[in-house]
Amino acid sequence: MILGTDAAGVDPDGNEVIVHALIGDPDYRGDETFDPSRTLLSEKHQGTFAEQLVVPRRNLVPKPAGLSMAEAACLPTAYLTAYRMLFTRGQLKPGATVLVQGAGGGVATACILLGHAAGLRVWVTQPGRGQAGPGAGAGCGRGIRDRRAAAGQVDAVMETVGEATWGHSMRSMKPGGTIVISGATAGSRRPRT
Q: Are 24 and 56 in contact (CB under 8 A)?
A: no
Distances (CA, A) of 79 to 20, 62, 73, 176: 11, 15, 10, 26
Domains for the chain: give ranges and CATH numbers. Answer: 2-73 (no CATH), 79-181 (3.40.50.720)
Q: Are 183 and 127 in contact (CB under 8 A)?
A: no
What pLDDT does 111 receive?
A: 93
Cβ within 8 Å of residue 190, ≥6 positions away: none
What pLDDT does 118 receive?
A: 94
Round to whole Å and give the CA distance between 96 and 155. 6
Ramachandran region, residue 8 (left: φ > 0; alpha: ψ -120 to 50; beta: rest): beta
Rounded average pLDDT per 10-residue block, the chain, 193 residues:
50 82 83 80 72 78 84 78 92 95 84 93 70 48 64 89 84 92 73 54
What pLDDT does 149 receive?
A: 65
What pLDDT does 189 receive?
A: 66
What pLDDT does 22 receive?
A: 77
Report the largest interatomic distance among the alpha carbons of the chain, rounded to a whole angstrom.
55
**Predicted TM-score of the model (pTM):** 0.69
* Single-letter amino acid, residue 10: V
What pLDDT does 10 receive?
A: 78
